Structure 1
Amino acid sequence: MFEKYPFEKLNELLKDIPHPDEVISLTIGEPQFETPKFIQDELCKNAKYLNKYPKTAGEEVLKKAQRDFVKRRYNIELEKDELLPSFGTRELLFNFPLFLKPKKTAFPNPFYQIYEGAAIATNSKINYMPLKKENNFLNTPSQLDGDEDFVILNSPNNPTASVMDIDLLCEWVEEALKKDFVILSDECYSEIYFDKKPPSILEASIRVGNKNFKNVLTINSISKRSSAPGLRSGFIAGDSKILKKYLNFRTYVGCASPLPLQYAAAKAWMDDEHVETFREKYKRNFEIAKEILGIEVPKATFYIWLEVDDDIEFTKEAYKRGVKVMPGRFMGREGEGVGYIRIALVYNEEKTKQALKIIKELL
């Protein structure tokens, strides 16, 4: 049975609560900055290709742009059969497990709810690996039960903003090879960082000598890095033997990206300058948060995982004053997330200051 989505639970929680006409919503990880004009122009220029069916495997211009991104970012030269473009990454996180049919899945807790939805859809047993203050909100192989055949990792992490270092990722790769399970590493926030670049599971795989990425896959997306979630452009990369079979599966799913979107996405993947501009905006938002809330700036993401006395009551009170936040318990199971709220710093400086001052008053 599928759980209600966190946003549905939130709407039910707040439906009868009086609130100002204008509410600043800090609940969803959707960048509120305009998509760069050069990306929009490329989309318009290629609208003529709406009369053509897109290939499931994607256009070479997009696949090359994505492989080139991996080369620039991680100094890894992927073979052509080691990457598949996708219609965003949400669809990957749901239909890749449908393809894999795992008997037991492990993933972080709290988590992005698609992880659980896919496990339920495949009748997979679940190991909810807790992310706690005591373990620095990091998952380690010691949290496995030993009988998992599929593990989802998420670094940089949503919602806690924690980042795994390369040594920990290496431990995970070695464990996957030793126990013969598949790792899917969700790295969609890899480009929203403020100092050191977060490492990839692909780098860890090479470091431990697993150069063909056996049992190792990563996913990434353009949504956060380019402020372009509507382009629905992502990819999955790694083990070519798995990806070959998965491509065959995808031909039946019908989730190929329209050609105009692919061409626009290719332009975005090719360029890094605009990404730096967005990083500076998010960095400034965190500097504001540090000034107002006294928090430490995280290594990556645009989230604050803020400890509060009661996440439900805090959420209600914030809404009364015109700010919408996400109660941590709505993103976790087995008690994880209770006593935290997730705040998405996705607005401009003015709105960010306005919202955080209200939150400060409630703390």
Structure 2
Amino acid sequence: MGEMFEKYPFEKLNELLKDIEPETEKRYILTIGEPQFETPEFIQKSLCENSKYLNKYPKTAGEDILKESMRGFVKRRYGIELKPQELLPTFGTREVLFNFPLFLKPKKTAFPNPFYQIYEGAAIAAGSRIKYLPLTKENNFKNRLSQLDGDEDFIILNSPNNPTASVMSLDELCEWVEYALEKNVIILSDECYSELYFDEKPASMLEACVKVGNNSFKNILVINSISKRSSAPGLRSGFIAGDGEILKNYLQFRTYVGCASPLPLQLAAAKAWSEDEHVEVFRKEYKKNFEIAKETLGIEIPKATFYIWLEVDDDIEFTKKAWKKGVKVMPGRFMGRNGAGEGYVRIALVYSPQETIEALKIIKELL
């Protein structure tokens, strides 16, 4: 059974680099999208204060205080007042991306290529046929309706995008919502990087629904997470929001999955979702890193995420040379299929500005 799944990109990377010993003691791991800034103190304090609630089973549907904080975030950020049945807390978003297709059982799933590997694994586990939607320089790393075959019944979109850092406009998202209604297709929008922006706020597919008059969010679901926003991936706090009819049945499915978040984590997450100032601090740090990257590598600063999708001659050879110098990057082809991602490496700017300068200077020399 396990042979159906591709090796995870990090496993492929370990195999590629296993015989290379870096020439330097100092190592820069720029492969994983894990924030390296400390989780804000007020979130840590809440977790400690509520550890006494470890003696209680958490509800699958989540505590009211957490759901209210998440709906509050959606209201502040997008001006949309979700009904209680239109949002479910989740244990991060990776579990949703994997088990939602198991619940849905789509016949054919489409998603971007390159992609976050869970999209593919979930489709395989659900027995769904796959349609890869290439992200290329020619389409500005944004998926188009023209890429579809027309027989897909489930589509995953990802904006702001991992790994390419592209951002779809509100009008572009509206086209997908209209398509979902016209063809009765379910679309899941992965928006986990929505809060790491540097100028204009990225649009949500929830906003696109409102703009085209789909006020019940029919056939549309979005996911988001606190991991990047609050530098708190260990809290495992995400949500899925949108079509209340689908979520009602999905909640029942989730009671069997057994992925309820422990109460101390829920209460700490509620604090984090309710506060926005700490997020601005992180955005400023990431922007500093991109300004360094612009100065060092001559790249354009993306609208969002903390990734550089850097064009190179040969992503495999570049990755090996970089690790010899102590810098670990992700070859683009490990994140794609059918040649997607070749000639690019993904670099995660998740460290302090000083370490970022040091790492990017090494990359510049290799270019």
Same fold (TM over 0.5): yes
Q: Deviations over 1:131-154 (max 9, x none)?
A: 000000000111110000000000
1:286 counterpart (286, 290, 304): 290
**In structure 2, C-alpha distance between the alignment counterparts of 1:22 and 1:361, rounded to whole Å:** 17
Where structure 2 has 5 or more consecutive residues not aligned to the other structure, the ranges are none
**In structure 1, C-alpha distance between the alignment counterparts of 2:112 and 2:259, rounded to whole Å:** 27
1:52 counterpart (56, 60, 64): 56
**In structure 1, C-alpha distance between the alignment counterparts of 2:333 and 2:345, rounded to whole Å:** 8
Pairing 1:10–2:4 present: no
Q: Deviations over 1:263-317 (max 9, x none)?
A: 0000000000000000000000000000100000000000000000000000000
Where structure 1 has 5 or more consecutive residues not aligned to the other structure, the ranges are none
Pairing 1:210–2:207 present: no
User: Which amino acid letter does the alignment assign opposite residue 104 of structure 2?
Assistant: L
Q: Deviations over 1:244-277 (max 9, x none)?
A: 0000000000000000000000000000000000
1:172 corresponds in structure 2 to 176
Q: Cα offset for 1:169?
A: 0.2
Pairing 1:325–2:313 present: no
2:148 counterpart (144, 147, 156): 144
TM-score by length of 1: 1.00
1:296 counterpart (297, 300, 304): 300
The DSSP-based 3-state class of the residue aligned with 2:246 is helix
1:33 corresponds in structure 2 to 37
2:76 counterpart (72, 78, 84): 72
1:184 corresponds in structure 2 to 188
The DSSP-based 3-state class of the residue aligned with 1:146 is coil
**In structure 1, C-alpha distance between the alignment counterparts of 2:88 and 2:128, rounded to whole Å:** 25
User: Which amino acid letter does the alignment assign opposite residue 311 of structure 2?
Assistant: E
TM-score by length of 2: 0.99
**In structure 1, C-alpha distance between the alignment counterparts of 2:10 and 2:33, rounded to whole Å:** 12
**In structure 2, C-alpha distance between the alignment counterparts of 1:197 and 1:46, rounded to whole Å:** 33
**In structure 2, C-alpha distance between the alignment counterparts of 1:341 and 1:278, rounded to whole Å:** 24
2:163 counterpart (130, 155, 159): 159
**In structure 2, C-alpha distance between the alignment counterparts of 1:270 and 1:170, rounded to whole Å:** 28
The DSSP-based 3-state class of the residue aligned with 1:95 is helix
1:219 corresponds in structure 2 to 223
Q: Cα offset for 1:18?
A: 1.5
2:132 corresponds in structure 1 to 128
The DSSP-based 3-state class of the residue aligned with 2:247 is helix
2:197 counterpart (155, 180, 193): 193
**In structure 1, C-alpha distance between the alignment counterparts of 2:94 and 2:65, rounded to whole Å:** 22
The DSSP-based 3-state class of the residue aligned with 1:92 is helix
**In structure 1, C-alpha distance between the alignment counterparts of 2:189 and 2:148, rounded to whole Å:** 16
1:242 corresponds in structure 2 to 246
Q: Deviations over 1:197-232 (max 9, x none)?
A: 000000001111100000000000000000000000
Q: Cα offset for 1:338?
A: 0.2
**In structure 2, C-alpha distance between the alignment counterparts of 1:32 and 1:244, rounded to whole Å:** 36
**In structure 1, C-alpha distance between the alignment counterparts of 2:186 and 2:145, rounded to whole Å:** 13
**In structure 1, C-alpha distance between the alignment counterparts of 2:144 and 2:281, rounded to whole Å:** 33
User: Which amino acid letter does the alignment assign opposite residue 40 of structure 2?
Assistant: P
Q: How many aligned positions are there?
A: 363
The DSSP-based 3-state class of the residue aligned with 2:80 is coil
User: Which amino acid letter does the alignment assign opposite residue 168 of structure 1?
Assistant: E
**In structure 1, C-alpha distance between the alignment counterparts of 2:269 and 2:180, rounded to whole Å:** 32
**In structure 2, C-alpha distance between the alignment counterparts of 1:141 and 1:56, rounded to whole Å:** 36
Q: Cα offset for 1:347?
A: 0.2
User: Which amino acid letter does the alignment assign opposite residue 141 of structure 1?
Assistant: L
Q: Cα offset for 1:123?
A: 1.1
Q: Cα offset for 1:21?
A: 3.0
User: Which amino acid letter does the alignment assign opposite residue 296 of structure 1?
Assistant: E
Q: Cα offset for 1:112?
A: 0.1
The DSSP-based 3-state class of the residue aligned with 1:133 is coil
The DSSP-based 3-state class of the residue aligned with 1:286 is helix
Q: Cα offset for 1:29?
A: 0.3
Pairing 1:83–2:87 present: yes
1:347 corresponds in structure 2 to 351
Percent identity over the alignment?
78
Runs of 4+ residues over 2 Å off in structure 1: none
Q: Deviations over 1:36-86 (max 9, x none)?
A: 000000000000000000000000000000000000000000000000000
Q: Cα offset for 1:22?
A: 2.8
